[in-house]
Amino acid sequence: MTLYLHGLGHFHPENEIDNAFLESLDIGTDNEWILERVGIRSRRTVLPLDYIRGTRNADVRAAAEASLYTAAQVGARAAEMAISRSGIDKAEIGMVIAGSSMPDYATPAEACNIARELGLDVPAFDVNSACTSFLMQIRVLSMMRPEALPPYVLIVVPECATKVVDYNDRATAVLWGDGGAAAVVSARVRGPARLLGATAASNPAGADKVVVPRTGRTRRANVRGAKDGRGLRTPPRSVRGERAQPSLRRPSGKSPHARGRLPALRDLRGTTSLERRMVRQHRSGELGFRDLHPLGRVARERRRRRRRRRRRSHLGRLSDPLRRRT
């Protein structure tokens, strides 16, 4: 089923944890160490910086009380931007789907809390799939009958991961940040962009790469990864056993890397000199995600090289008869 995209929104908390702040915590890390292993320069947090500096977030329940924003508030801020950009009235939203890696509540659904923040009285439910929640929401919608859906659906992913991070552990403290993303989509009303298909795959063997337990008795953040963050230098192919990717074209089903699929950053390991150069430019900040899009600079450069090769081949075929005559 085709989904039309009407608006995208985002929200990032004001407080910023840069590498200099983490270095000031004296946990055995510095800017060079972080950039070498994960390539992150800064991340946002819903927690006050003084709280992190004073407590290292030793008590997860205290973090919830100290937080400047709830997950629902983060999601609602992103949703308001998406609705504003879509050009529709908020009352036209007929369904809310939310999900995240670390929701504030097991009950009620985070989508219900976001709908309440927005003042919407519509069906709301969660599709939680860890880091792939946003993409799995698209996948679930793509399997529904268009006539059974409301004209506009709001999908939201609020992430407040720093609430459960142990800032005494450098392997995890350097990784996590907070923010929200939202999109207004429709299966019936045409929009400026569309998704022609979505696929999902699973690799349960990687499910233990990142674990955030919810036992109710955990007082200390228990985010578990590989030693010194080396195992997470490249994001795991599977978090909680699930991953997904949207597609600009209908996938053929023959290959997990179907043409036209949005490239995941973890898959930007090029084999040709062009791809390697593009990866280096991306890591240095010269290229953004838009440039790595199938319609971006990388694809344009590949098409230009293919045209040049075809032109040379064509000229070579034309010159062969001339050479034989002489």
CATH code of 36's domain:
3.40.47.10
**pLDDT of 106 over the 80 cut:** yes
Query: Average of pLDDT values for 104-129?
Result: 94
219 lies in the same domain as 272: no
Say what the pLDDT of residue 225 is. 44
Same domain, 41 and 100: yes
Q: How many folded domains does the chain comprise?
A: 2
Measure CA 263 to chain center: 12
Q: Find, among 141, 119, 137, the residue nearest to 128 by Cα.
A: 137
Name the pLDDT band for 236 (thresholds 50, 70, 90). Answer: very low
The candidate with the shortest Cα–Cα distance to 170, out of 121, 115, 217, 230, is 230
pLDDT of residue 9: 96
Helix, strand, coil: what percent of the chain each, to 5? 40, 20, 40
pLDDT at residue 224, as a whole number: 43
Determine, yes or no, domain membership for 247. no
| Residue numbers of the domain that contains 85 | 3-230
> What are the residue ranges of helices labelled H in the chain?
19-24, 31-37, 49-55, 60-66, 71-86, 110-118, 133-142, 170-173, 273-283, 297-325
Are residues 157 and 74 located together in one domain of the fold?
yes
Does 287 share its domain with 185? no
Q: What is the pLDDT of residue 273?
A: 60
* Closest among 257, 199, 212 to 239, alpha carbons compared: 212
State the pLDDT at residue 46.
96
Residue 254: what pLDDT?
43
Do 47 and 167 fall within a single domain? yes
pLDDT category, 280, cuts 50, 70, 90?
low
pLDDT band for 244, please (50, 70, 90 cuts): very low
Higher pLDDT, 63 or 294: 63
Does the residue 244 lie in any domain?
no
Domain assignment present for 50: yes
Q: Does the pLDDT at position 289 exceed 60?
A: no
Residues 27 and 150 in one domain: yes
167 assigned to some structural domain: yes
56: left (phi over 0), alpha (psi -120 to 50) or beta: left
Statement to judge: residues 74 and 218 lie in one domain: yes
Beta bridge partners of 264: none
pLDDT 10s digits, 46-59: 999 999 999 998 88
Kindly state whether residues 138 and 284 are assigned to the same domain.
Answer: no
Instruction: Indicate the residue among 230, 260, 287 that finishes a domain.
Output: 230
Residue 113: φ, ψ to 5°: -65, -40
Average pLDDT over residues 239-248: 42
Whole-prediction pTM: 0.68
Rounded Cα distance between 150 and 175, Å, is 38
Whether residue 186 is found in the same domain as residue 297? no
3-state class of 135 per DSSP? helix
Does 245 fall in a domain? no
Domain end: 230, 256, 282, which one?
A: 230
Query: Does any domain span residue 252?
Result: no
d(CA 219, CA 244): 32
At 8, give phi and psi (nearest 5°). -120, 145
pLDDT, one tens digit per residue, over 293-315 is 555 666 777 778 888 887 777 66
pLDDT of 200: 82
If asked whether residues 74 and 142 sit together in one domain, one would say yes
